[in-house]
Chains A and B, each alone.
Chain A
Amino acid sequence: MSEPIIEIKGLGKTYLIGHKSDTGSYTALRDVVGRTVAGFGRKVMDMAAGRQIIQGDEVELFSALKSLDIEVDQGEVVGIIGRNGAGKSTLLKILSRITEPSEGKVILRGRVASLLEVGTGFHPELSGRENIYLNGAILGMTRNEIKLKFDEIVDFSGVERFLDTPVKRYSSGMYVRLAFSVAAHLEPEILVVDEVLAVGDVEFQKKCLSKMKDVAVGGRTVLFVSHNIAAVQSLCNRGIVLHSGNKVFDGAVEDAVYAYTNKISKNNDRALRGGDGPHIVHASICDDSLRHGDLVVRLEFESPYALEKPFAGLVVKDILGNPVFGHNTMMDETFVSKRGTSGILNFSVTDIPLHAGEYVVSLYFGDRSQNYHIEEDYINFLFVAPPIPMGISTSQIGNMRVKGVWVQS
């Protein structure tokens, strides 16, 4: 085991992206015509030169990964964590050869299989049996390998009775179970997993996790990408934190989780970058109230058009990524929404029933029909409550703080 099984040196990936230029409050026909003509001219030039067509008025080079160096030894189970857009998925795409790097290189010493999404390549018209063969071949198994493992795959999925039914008649749970079973029985030296565990019921998720642990125990190398920090912690022994294309931490998984939560913390008062549609422009948690044991979250939103019934919601999670509680405007019967293009929504809960600790808040904003803007794990807060006795931690008793009364008689 002299050489690392995965060697990443100075890896970078850039994409071309287009923007619509800011048009201000009204648009003149002259501008629209001018831009359309210019855009058409550019597209024709691009096509003549064999370049990619980019929608929008302004073109920008976007680096998804910036000179990344990582070495992974055989048998390691590495968790890769980071916010949306940190470059996790791009890294996995490069490792699984779906896309080419723009610079640097990767040396892989073993067969790579990726579980980027379960059910990739399932054909709805084909039966479960046929799809096992199809999916297996797509994931890189030979027909003999599939034949040998066929019974195991079927057993694991628990869909024996429906093997000859077209998968379009499957329930979504059955579909996912069958798909994961095929993927789980791949036996590559390097397994790349991206968020596949976010599906299926709890029991099946447990089954998947233990299957993945088996894979790791078998001396294979696993790269695991997830938002679910609890899953990363229980599976991996090493963690790498990515932040906007850079590696900001590499080490033991507990430290990585801490580094990640630290990275996203620091701020409980953040301005957000704008989007095209209705969006949150500013979100904050009131420090003063927090000191008194109350949680007050203030959301400021803007929209290019008037929203009939602005809607907002939030989910509070612990630092392991487990949701603790959530609330939204529809759950409050007394809430009256006002039509408008901008506004402020305040959420408050008095005497938070939580133990002391660090919590992360995800924000949702939309109207009654859909969410326009979701910010996962965006603001966070440190809550100081009456301390729990020494020797007991929230990992044992949970995050809920109930006002219990004990009487001895």
Chain B
Amino acid sequence: MQEKLVLEPGRANKNYWKDIWHYRELFQVLAWRDVSVRYKQTVIGVAWALIRPFLTMIVFTVIFGKVAKLPSEGEAPYALLVFAGMLPWTFFSTALSEASNSLVSNANLISKVYFPRIIVPTSTMVVVLLDFVISFIILLFMMLWYQWVPGLQFLLLPLFLLLAVLASIGPALWITSLNVKYRDFRYIIPFVVQFGLYVSPVGFSSNVIPDNWRLLYSLNPVVGVIDGFRWCIIGESNIYIPGFILSVVVTLFFLWFGINQFRKMEKTFADLI
């Protein structure tokens, strides 16, 4: 009789994080499952992860750079500016939509077996991260094409990738748990993602935002992430520091809030799903 487990209503789960650690193998297995079935029974397979961001980049470069004639940052080619913004944005939006559906599409698991529920939405992040890595290869080729040599700040990119992950996890967890309870969010998320593409500085530099609006604009956590990516890759303009700090603060707040909300609702998932 090694372990003793007491089940009570509203039990404050002291072993929450320990429990997650205990189930780390399930996290790996679920992530591996999502990765290995992602492009099954498709003709071009992984190429989808290359084609989608590439085509979007071309469209944005033409519309924002050529048609609207928005300024780039310094000497940087507009296509590079767009792609440096699209990398984190695609990560954020895919993470949000994949995670939010993850619990509902794994409903049979949730209602049949116990494990820390947080594993399901977070393991979808691995797939999204893989897509990110593939798109990153495009970036490297583009830099080669434009013969663009980034500065030393390029080495800080993993740090901003981490920020992108954190910025995605918070809202993703919150929306995931809401989606279990209120399926309205299934319709809201695609809208938010589409809307966010234009609200966030993906197709344009955030330098085009008037100075007195910039702090307010930075309330969007993705702004900080995108600015960080652009600084690493292009490095022509410095990061707007007060805005960046605000973005990080909002990110951390959402991370805390998302995890909290998720834990609060987690216990009733099986009854609601």
A contacts, CB < 8 Å to B: 3, 5, 15, 47, 52-53, 74, 93-112, 114, 116-117, 120-121, 123, 125-126, 130, 133-134, 137-140, 142-143, 189
> Once the chains bind, are B4 and A107 in contact (CB under 8 Å)?
yes
Across-interface contacts of B113 in A (CB, < 8 A) = 96, 98, 114, 116, 120-121, 138-140
* Given A47-B182, A96-B113, A139-B113, A130 contacting B3 (CB threshold 8 A): no
* Given A99-B270, A138-B26, A105 contacting B8 (CB threshold 8 A): yes
Majority SS of interface residues in chain A? loop
New A-B pairs, 9, CB < 8 Å, besides A52-B271, A121-B106, A121-B112? A53-B182, A99-B268, A104-B8, A104-B9, A111-B3, A112-B5, A120-B108, A137-B26, A142-B25
User: Once bound together, how far apart are the Cα atoms of A47 and B112, in whole Å?
Assistant: 26
> Once the chains bind, are A110 and B41 in contact (CB under 8 Å)?
no
User: Once bound together, how far apart are the Cα atoms of A105 and B2, in whole Å?
Assistant: 19
User: Once bound together, how far apart are the Cα atoms of A165 and B153, in whole Å?
Assistant: 48
User: Once bound together, how far apart are the Cα atoms of A326 and B49, in whole Å?
Assistant: 57
> Once the chains bind, are A125 and B29 in contact (CB under 8 Å)?
no
Q: Which of B59-118 contact A (CB under 8 A)?
A: 106, 108-115
User: Once bound together, how far apart are the Cα atoms of A109 and B2, in whole Å?
Assistant: 7
> Once the chains bind, are A125 and B40 in contact (CB under 8 Å)?
yes
Cross-interface CB contact of A125 among B4, B41, B114, B268, cutoff 8 Å: B41
CB distance from A366 to the nearest CB of B (A): 27
Interface size range of chain B in the complex: 35 or more
> Once the chains bind, are A99 and B9 in contact (CB under 8 Å)?
no
Most buried by B among A74, A93, A94, A137: A137
Cross-interface CB contact of B29 among A15, A117, A134, cutoff 8 Å: A134
Residue of A nearest to B41 (CB): A125
Residue of B nearest to A43 (CB): B182
> Once the chains bind, are A138 and B115 in contact (CB under 8 Å)?
yes
Cross-interface CB contact of B5 among A102, A108, A137, cutoff 8 Å: A108
User: Once bound together, how far apart are the Cα atoms of A346 and B175, in whole Å?
Assistant: 55
User: Once bound together, how far apart are the Cα atoms of A130 and B37, in whole Å?
Assistant: 11
The 0/1 profile, CB within 8 Å of A marked 1, for residues 24-42 of chain B is 0110011001001100110
User: Once bound together, how far apart are the Cα atoms of A102 and B40, in whole Å?
Assistant: 43
Q: List 21 A-B contacts (CB under 8 A).
A: A47-B182, A53-B182, A94-B7, A97-B7, A97-B114, A99-B267, A99-B268, A101-B7, A102-B9, A105-B6, A105-B8, A106-B8, A108-B5, A114-B112, A116-B113, A121-B108, A130-B33, A133-B29, A134-B33, A137-B25, A189-B1
